[in-house]
A and B are shown apart, each in its own frame.
Chain A
Amino acid sequence: MIRHTITLQPLGKNLKVNDQTPLIDLLHEFGVEFPCGGKGTCGKCKVRLLEGEIEVNEVHRKKMEQLGLPEEWRLACYSSCTSNITLEIEQFNHLILADETEFDFCPRQGFGVAVDLGTTTLVTQLVDLKTACIMAVETLVNPQVKFGSDLISRVQASLDGHALEMTQMIRFAIGTMIRQMLKNHSAGIQKVVLVGNTVMQLIFSDCDVSPLSAYPFHTTNLGMKSFTPSELNWNFSVSESIIFYPSIGSFVGSDILAGIVATGLHQKDEYTALIDLGTNGEIVIGNRDRIVCASTAAGPAFEGANISMGMRAVTGAISSLRLENDQIEATVIGNTSPKGICGSALIDAVAIFRRLELVGIFGEINSGDEFIYLGGKVKLTQKDINEFQLAKAAIAAGLAILANNLSIRLADISELYIAGGFGNYINIDHVVETGMIELPAEIIHKRGNTALIGAKMFLFSDHLNIYEILAKTKLVNLECDSSFQDIYVDKMLFLK
């Protein structure tokens, strides 16, 4: 009997299967869902063929065309295994990042494109400007991640002579995503709005990022950048404008400006805070009169970096943990066996360890063991818990120093919004229990991808009020604050 090997990415799993085995028989247990029951109408079971061949019959091809799938994709429900293949199985990024929050708008003609250009993740949405309906969405991992996951590694790559390569890479990726969204929509694009952090903006715009490589980390090149499709090598037309919105400061970009607009923080009487838990964790506190903001290096731990079994919120990641009869119960994305842990569950784990007194006030594992099991083979080590302490202390210290800067108490903050990729999964009670945010859980709200919501709002506005916001927004360098070290170290403790 002929046998083939199927390799599943990003799980790294190898399966031996018989010739002609339908993929639908294999993949459901790895988190691929078949909502339409294998009729090829919903496209939810799509897989990306990375290596090898999957034959496509006439019906399959037609379904793929109807769904607008690029040629390397296949519908698992129409595919069988006839050779050795490597598949990337559909992940759950769409659920996490593609936002559908409603907002007020003035109808306009045509289509617009909102782009959230993240350090790790790219999201584009095609918006009907008459109805504000989202017509198509694309998400992609930023191709620059091959140069490293954090911002400093991108700055370093730029200094090492990869600046132009990174610029071309990101322009090509976003152009491809937009073209993909246009496949099923003939209407022309009026406007493209991009938001992203300062480093992402400078690289996209082919500008020098070297001022951001060392103290004083100061660039004056923060302004709005506009482009024509031909400058970007985009072979579709944009009738009005392609604009990358201005940055607030050296490490706080237009994604946070968009977040301020999306949450309406700049219009509130009471002090309101916004924390964006992306790769680069940014914090904002402000009201209608004044706004302060800062960036922290809190993000990487929440995205799985530096955590021994850390991973992003994709298939196989433990996304949440809860206590049931003093036993730790794990929820795994895709209902597969757990492969690792993502940021939301890292917070859950530490909160639960504290409740069960498995971990002491300094973060030490009380038993003296080097790790604690969470479910299956997934465990957290002493070092992982320490990494979490650094991340949570960065957020807590950032909030405290920004509040000091405004001469207010933390308790004067009336509402706090959490934005960002993994923000949707997090358990707010657990966040409060770990001491990451020292405010009552009732005033903390999840707000999804506020950068994308803001970018969509910019599609409808003529960006007049952003200059008012920029004028009253001050960037604070946390490390320059003389009390930073004491506050930062204090916040590493677990005092609850």
Chain B
Amino acid sequence: MDDLLTKLLEAVEFGKVDKKSPYPPQLRDMDGAHELTINAIESGIKPQKILEEALIPAMARVGKKFAECKIFVPQMLMSARAMGASMFQLKPFFASGAIKTKGTFIVGTVKGDLHDIGKNLVSMMVEGGGWSIVDLGVDVGSDRFVEALKSNPGAVVGLSALLTTTMVNMGEIVSTIREYAPETKILIGGAPVTAEFCQNIGADFYAPDPQKAVEYMNKLAS
């Protein structure tokens, strides 16, 4: 039974979505995350256990390898797709409350900026860390972040920007969120962002890579 979880962990870590997916070559013709998750549920493994003992550790390994430059965007997205295939099977258990997440993460690329790949990587990693995700997309202004906070009180907020010219919009968003819910934890990231900038605009945490975001959030949840 635990053998299934080990296989699922491996399938997600190396981005094996389902049996017919050609990547990675070393897992060719083997079951992928899709089949393994169905098998695990059918053999009676608790969904919470599937999440905690296969998906979360798999994505933690992926995040660590990405932070160390051992893997790059394509592999990370393959892993995220494999995780997505597994999550799809687990969805009913999230809805019924059989699986508890650590909390909700509201994420978006800030106003004026359309870059979503970095934001998506972070959102996938945080989801793989055991959080529920509310992805607001790109070009998101402070009003939409506040709206999302109203429907998800206590959520953690993540802001992303890829341009020096749009990064400045983070400041206004942080102060608007603080007005509405001062205790909200806000983390920021993106190529031009620095720890110093984070401090200047009064955000709580600067995440230089997706894994650092997950580690910070897990500390919040513990």
Closest B residue to A368 by beta carbon equals B70
A485 contacts partner chain B, Cβ-Cβ < 8 Å: yes
Interface of chain A, main secondary structure: helix
> A480 contacts which chain B residues (CB < 8 A)?
114
A152 contacts B165, C-beta separation under 8 Å: yes
Name the distance in Å between A203's Cβ and chain B's nearest Cβ: 15
Binary per-residue interface labels of chain A (379-405) against chain B in the complex, 1 for a CB within 8 Å, 0 otherwise: 001110010011000000000000000
B111 at the interface (CB under 8 A from A): yes
- Binding stretch for chain B, among A100-108, A349-357, A488-496: A488-496
At the interface, yes or no: A364 with Cβ under 8 Å from chain B? yes
Select one of B112, B114, B164 contacting A479, CB under 8 A.
B114
Complex CA gap A364/B166 in Å reads 32
A490 to B114, CA, bound (A): 19
The closest CB in chain A to the CB of B109 belongs to: A215
**Residues 151-195 of chain B: 1 if any A CB is under 8 Å from the residue's CB, otherwise 0?**
000000000000111100100000000000000000000000000
CA distance A386 to B115 in the complex (A): 18
- For residue B69, CB closer than 8 A to chain A, the reply is yes
Within 8 A of B (CB), among A331-376: 362-364, 368, 370
- Judge whether A492 and B74 touch: CB under 8 Å: yes
Interface contact tally, CB-CB below 8 A: 66
A156 to B163, CA, bound (A): 9
Q: Is the CB of A159 within 8 A of B165?
A: yes
Q: Residue-by-residue, is A468-489 near B (CB-CB < 8 Å gives 1, otherwise 0)?
A: 0000000001011000010011
> Residue B169 contacts which of A214, A383, A479 (CB distance < 8 angstroms)?
A214
CA A155 – CA B112 in complex, angstroms?
A: 14
The answer to whether A180 has its CB under 8 Å from any CB of chain B is no
Task: Say yes or no: is A168 at the interface (Cβ < 8 Å to chain B).
Answer: no
Q: In the docked arrangement, what's the CA distance between A103 and B173, Å?
A: 55
A213 lies within 8 A of B74 (CB)? no
CB distance from B205 to the nearest CB of A (A): 24
CB B141 to nearest CB in A, in angstroms, measures: 11
Q: Smallest CB–CB gap between A391 and chain B, Å? A: 13
A362 and B163: CB pair below 8 A? Answer: no
B52 at the A/B interface (Cβ < 8 Å)? Answer: no
Question: A384 CB to closest chain B CB, in angstroms?
Answer: 10
Q: Is the interface of B mostly helix, strand, loop or mixed?
A: loop
Residues of chain A within 8 A (CB-CB) of B204 are none
Residue of B69, B77, B163, B165 with most chain A CB atoms under a 10 A cut-off: B165
Q: Which residues of B contact A214 (CB under 8 A)?
A: 111-113, 163, 165-166, 169
The residue on B at minimum CB distance from A363 is B72
Give the size of the chain B interface in residues (CB under 8 angstroms): 23
Q: Does B117 contact A (CB under 8 A)?
A: yes
User: Of B73, B74, B114, B120, which contacts A215 at CB under 8 A?
Assistant: B114
Contact A485:B69 (CB < 8 A) given known A214-B112, A215-B113, A479-B114 = no
Would you give the 0/1 interface string for A177-221, flagging 1 where the beta carbon is closer than 8 Å to chain B?
000000000000000000000000000000000000111000000
A489 and B74 form a contact (CB under 8 A) = yes
Do A362 and B120 touch across chains, with their CB atoms under 8 A apart? Answer: no
Query: A158's closest neighbor in chain B, by CB?
Result: B165
Complex CA distance for A456 and B163, rounded to whole angstroms = 35
Interface 1/0 per residue, B189-221 and A, CB below 8 Å? 000000000000000000000000000000000
Cβ contact within 8 Å between A389 and B72: yes
Shortest Cβ gap from B206 to chain A (Å): 20
How far apart are B169's CB and chain A's nearest CB, in angstroms? Answer: 7
Q: How distant is the Cα of A155 from the Cα of B167 in the complex, in angstroms?
A: 13
Chain A residues with CB under 8 Å of B163's CB are 152, 213-214
Q: Given that A214-B169, A485-B120, A489-B77 are known contacts, is A386 also in contact with B69, CB under 8 Å in the complex?
A: yes
Query: Is B139 in the interface zone, CB < 8 Å from A?
Result: yes
Asked if B114 and A493 sit within 8 Å, CB to CB, the answer is: no
Closest 5 CB pairs of A and B: A214-B112, A213-B165, A479-B114, A156-B164, A386-B72
User: Could you tell me which B residues sit within 8 Å of A by CB distance?
Assistant: 69-75, 77, 111-117, 120, 138-139, 163-166, 169
